[in-house]
Amino acid sequence: MLNQHTIDVIKSTVPVLEVHGTAITTTFYQRMFAAHPELLNIFNHANQKQGRQQAALANAVYAAAKHIDQLENILPVVKQIAHKHRSLGIKPEHYPIVGEHLLAAIAEVLGDAATDEILQAWTDAYGVIADAFIGVEAGMYEEARTQKGGWEGFRSFRVERKVRESEMITSFYLVPADGGVLASFQPGQYISVKIFIPGEAYTHLRQYSLSDSPDRPYYRISVKREDARGERPAGKVSTYLHEQVQEGDVLELSAPAGEFVLDEQDTRPVVFISGGVGLTPMVSMFNTLAKRSPERPAVFLHAAQNSQYHAMREAVEQLVSGKEHSLAQWVYTSPTEEDRAAASYHKEGYMDLEWLRSVVPNRDAVFYFCGPVPFMRTINQALHEWGVPEKDIHFEFFGPAAALN
């Protein structure tokens, strides 16, 4: 436990972290990777280059400082991050390394303002926070290892099928290479894929949502090919999966993880809202719902550029046709002439509150959404403006968490 003086000192640094947080975390990653380049086998290089990981860590450090006297307030965030850590293989021995370079980064960025008192307070606070993560993650490692069909670390899976779903998205059907039992998962969860790309100095880890229901004899991931755009280079892993990985090849997978899951105990209507490849966890949830709770009302709303970029549309429409009290609606930003002629979409443009209220029967429902960050900000704002309670709003980031407000 932290004493009151340490808590007061940590809280006094909150305004400083709000201003200098990203500079501190950027320096932290630079120092840590310089001293421990082997950790580049774990961290997402693309998120580092785009600054997303630095911003996410800065937000997490800021939140920890702000709530240092009531860390239970950030427990949901701790669990979310811990799931990612377990999926990536972060272990207790990594925490002293992080602590050393985080404290050094604080001292470097703040200079004389980082007094001995402040650095000691943050040393003590980091110890408490690290212990909390280690404890939570220990339970997650145990659960992943001991469940039926479970495993620790990475397990070899064979690509049984490779299916092109749209112009940009391809699905990979994965089965255990050893022929063993397949661990179950909660609809909405993800796995980490470890990729060894020829010519690359380090391995690459990427997390992909499982896009089918848990009762299948395979795991399915549906991967968007990230092409170069503006100054952003093409995604190395997604391009490799699309262009190089073929049926019969073997991939290394971690056990399923994640907090963004369908609450199957709730019997109220459920609304799934997705943009682009953000539909993958929604399809898993909807498939599960249709099989286990066919009487539960459901609305599936999806935004895409047009039908050429709309993955798994026919599968969702088939589920809707066979399920009472369900509805699917599509929003296309740039429908093709064929889309217009076939009336294959329901709205042109973007989702907004007025449209949501016109297609969702009422706000007494549970809402799940996922997609590009700007899309998620729009949906989050619309749901709050509509008066949907915070407890009924659930979302998932593909990548480091960002602010939706």
List of residues 6+ apart from 382 with CB closer than 8 A = 351, 352, 353, 356
| 3-class state of residue 140 by DSSP | helix
Q: Catalytic one among 29, 62, 126, 137?
A: 137
Q: Catalytic one among 62, 95, 332, 368?
A: 95
Whether 33 has a binding-site annotation, put simply, is no
Whether 207 has a binding-site annotation, put simply, is yes
Whether 389 has a binding-site annotation, put simply, is no
Whether 82 and 144 have beta carbons less than 8 Å apart is answered as no
Look up 95 and say whether it is catalytic: yes
Whether 277 has a binding-site annotation, put simply, is yes
- How far apart CA 380 and CA 340 sit, in angstroms, is 29
Whether 206 has a binding-site annotation, put simply, is yes
- How far apart CA 376 and CA 123 sit, in angstroms, is 36
Whether 284 has a binding-site annotation, put simply, is no
Whether 246 has a binding-site annotation, put simply, is no
Whether 397 has a binding-site annotation, put simply, is yes
Whether 28 has a binding-site annotation, put simply, is no
How far CA 234 is from CA of 52, 99, 238, 298, 347, in Å, comes to 16, 33, 8, 36, 30
Whether 280 has a binding-site annotation, put simply, is yes
Whether 214 has a binding-site annotation, put simply, is no
Per DSSP, which regions of 216-286 are E strands? 219-224, 250-253, 270-275
* DSSP-assigned letter for residue 159: E
Look up 137 and say whether it is catalytic: yes
Nearest alpha-carbon partner for 213 in 143, 261, 151, 154: 261
Whether 279 has a binding-site annotation, put simply, is yes
Whether 310 and 342 have beta carbons less than 8 Å apart is answered as no
Whether 222 and 277 have beta carbons less than 8 Å apart is answered as yes
| 3-class state of residue 345 by DSSP | coil
Residue ranges for the binding site for NADP(+)? 276-281
Residues involved in catalysis: 95, 137
Residue ranges for the binding site for heme b? 85
Residue ranges for the binding site for FAD? 190, 206-209, 397-400
Residue ranges for the binding site? 85, 190, 206-209, 276-281, 397-400
